[in-house]
Amino acid sequence: MKNENFTKQCKLLMSLLVSALLLNPVSADETCMSPYMAKIIGQEDFVYIWTLGVEGIGDGQDKMVTVDVNPNSATYGKVINSESVGGRNEAHHSGFTDDRKYLWAAGLDSNKIFIFDVHTDPAKATLVKTIDDFVTKSGGVVGPHTTYALPGRMLITALSNHKDHGGRTALVEYTNHGEYIATYWMPTDDNLQGAIKSGNYADGYGYDIRALPRRNVMLTSSFTGWSNYMKDFGEVLADPEAMKRFGNTMAIWDLHTRKPKQILDVPGAPLEIRCAWGAENNYCFTTTALTSQIVLLEETDKGDWKATIVADIGKPEDVPIPVAFSISSDDSMLWINTFMDGTTRGFDITDPHHPKQVYEKIIGTQVNMVSSSWDGKRLYHTSSLLANWDKKEADNEQFFKLFHWDGKEMTEQFNIDFYAEKLGRAHQMRFGAYSLYGKRPVEKPIKTASLTVKP
C-alpha cells in the first residue's frame, strides 16, 4: 500500500508540474550504434551491462557485468564476469570506439570515464584506463553521458556544468586512446554560435547524440542538470523550480565542423535519439520524458530540419515517463519503455508520420533500457533509471531480461535478478561477439599507444 501511494503521489505531482511547465516553459542497443561501427547482424555472444553499485550489496561498486547470451553456450543466461571500477559514480551510459575494441562508460556524478578492453577476451570486459580529469580538461563540463563513436574519435555529450550544476553543458571530443581534443558548448540565447533559433528556446541543455554522415548532420537532445538528476525523484517532483530546469530543445549540428546550425523547440525533455537506417530515410525520432510523446525529426526540402509530435505514448495524463527506446534495423518498429508502469510498447513506424501502437507488455514494476538485436528477434531489458530516481522497497526490482519476439508476441527467455546476484542496479547494455575479432582470446598482454591490456 505504501508503494502504491508513493507511485500515485508521484504521478499526481508530475502531472500538475508538467502542466505548469508547458504553460510557463524554461527548458540502447545494436540498432542505435554509430553508423561508423561494425554491426553484429547475427547472434550476439555477450551483453555488457553498466551497473550501478548499491551500498551493502556485494562490493557496493559500479561494475561492468558480462552475461553470456549465446543459446548454444553452456553458460547461456548466466553472469560470467564482473569488473568493478571503485566507488559509486552514478554509472549510466556506455559506447564502443569505432573499431569496437574498447567500451567507454561514464559516471554522471564522479565525472569519471572508464575504458574497458572488450577485444582481447570478449567474455571479460577488462578495465584498462580511467579518465579522471574530464571536468578540468573540458573547461568545466559535468555529467558525461553518451559516448559516441566517430572515426578515431569519441564524442561525449554531457548534462551539466561545474559553475551552477544546472543544465547548460557541452559536447567533449577525445581520441580513441583517451586524449582530450576539444569542447563544443551548446548554443544558448546569449551565444547562438551562428545557429538559427527556429523556436522560443536556446537553453544550452544536452543529453544524447546521433549522426547522419550522408547529410553531414549531428542531432543532440536535452535533459536536466546535476542538481536535478542527483536529487531524490520525489523531491524533484515536489519542487516547482526544479521542474522548470528541464530541456526543451534539440540542436542540429554540422558533423564535420562541430558547429551548431539550428535549434528546434521540443518541449518536455527529449531524451534518446534514434535515426532511421534506410539510405533515403533522412529522419530520426525522440521521445519526451515529461509529456510522453513521440517526436519525428526530419529534413525538409529546404535542407533545414523540423520537429513534429506524431504520437502519444500510453496515456500522457498518467505520466508513464518514456525513458528508452529502440528502432528496428528495417525502420519498421519502435520499442519504447516507460519507467513508471514498467511497460514496453511496440509502434509500427512504416509511416513515420503516423506511428501506431501494435503491442504492449509489462516487463516489471519498473523498466528502463531496451536493446534490440539487428534481426529484431531478441529484445533485452534492464531496470534502473538513476540511483535516486528508481522506485522504493518492493517496487525497486533490478533485473536483466531477454525476450524473443516472433512478430506477434514477446516470450521471456531468462531473467537475472541483479540484487540476488549481489551486483546492483542494471542500467545500460552493449553487445559483444567473438565474430567481431575473428579469434578467441589471446594469451599475452597487448600494448597500444596509450593502453595496456591484460587478458
Report pLDDT digits (tens) over 233-283. 999 999 999 999 999 999 999 999 999 999 999 999 999 999 999 999 999
Report pLDDT digits (tens) over 345-376. 999 999 999 999 999 999 999 999 999 999 99
List, as own/partner pairs, every contact residues 411-419 make where C-beta atoms lie below 8 angstroms and the sequence separation is at least 24, other chains included.
413/77, 414/76, 414/77, 416/67, 416/77, 416/78, 416/79, 418/51, 418/65, 418/383, 419/54, 419/57
**Domain ranges (residues) in the chain:** 2-453
Judged against a pLDDT cut of 50, whether residue 429 lies above it is answered with yes
- For every residue of 114-158, DSSP letters joined together read EEEE-SS-TTS-EEEEEE--HHHHHTSEEEEEEEEEETTEEEEEE
> The sheet that has 378-382: what strands, in order across it?
370-372, 378-382, 399-405, 410-417
Confidence of residue 438 (pLDDT cuts 50, 70, 90): confident
Please give the Cα distance from 93 to 336 (Å, whole number): 17
Share of the chain above pLDDT 70, in %: 90
Considering only residues 31 and 270, tell me which one the structure prediction assigns the higher pLDDT.
Answer: 270
pLDDT of residue 451: 41
Please give the Cα distance from 383 to 259 (Å, whole number): 36
pLDDT of residue 340: 97
Report pLDDT digits (tens) over 100-111. 999 999 999 999
Confidence of residue 444 (pLDDT cuts 50, 70, 90): very low
> The sheet that has 113-117: what strands, in order across it?
91-96, 102-107, 113-117, 126-131
Please give the Cα distance from 193 to 262 (Å, whole number): 10
Confidence of residue 449 (pLDDT cuts 50, 70, 90): very low
Judged against a pLDDT cut of 90, whether residue 455 lies above it is answered with no
Output the CA–CA distances (angstroms, integers) from residue 398 to 59, 62, 307, 364, in the order listed.
Answer: 16, 14, 35, 9
pTM: 0.91
pLDDT of residue 5: 57
**Range scoring the smallest mean pLDDT among 16-30, 52-66, 223-237:** 16-30
Q: Quick one: average pLDDT of 204-208?
A: 98
* Residues in Cβ contact with 301 at an 8 Å cutoff, skipping those fewer than 6 apart: none
Report pLDDT digits (tens) over 324-338. 999 999 999 999 999
* Cα dihedral: 27, 31, 33, 35 (round 10): -110
Q: What DSSP state is assigned to residue 186?
A: P
**Range scoring the smallest mean pLDDT among 208-212, 342-346, 400-404, 445-449:** 445-449
Please give the Cα distance from 93 to 158 (Å, whole number): 11
Share of the chain above pLDDT 90, in %: 89
Cβ density class 314-325: b for 16+ within 10 Å, e for less: bebeebbbbbbb
Considering only residues 111 and 4, tell me which one the structure prediction assigns the higher pLDDT.
Answer: 111
Phi and psi angles of residue 215, each rounded to the nearest 5 degrees, phi first? -105, 5
Q: Quick one: average pLDDT of 71-82?
A: 97
Output the CA–CA distances (angstroms, integers) from residue 31 to 149, 297, 325, 418, in the order listed.
Answer: 14, 18, 10, 25
Please give the Cα distance from 289 to 428 (Å, whole number): 17
On average, the pLDDT of the chain sits at: 92
Judged against a pLDDT cut of 50, whether residue 20 lies above it is answered with no
Please name the amino acid found at residue 31.
T
pLDDT of residue 221: 98
- The number of residues in the chain equals 455
Please name the amino acid found at residue 78.
K
Judged against a pLDDT cut of 60, whether residue 378 lies above it is answered with yes
Please give the Cα distance from 185 to 165 (Å, whole number): 15
Considering only residues 15 and 450, tell me which one the structure prediction assigns the higher pLDDT.
Answer: 15
C-alpha cell at 252: 542540429
Q: Domain 2-453, CATH 2.130.10.10 — does that match?
A: yes
Judged against a pLDDT cut of 70, whether residue 454 lies above it is answered with no
pLDDT of residue 30: 83
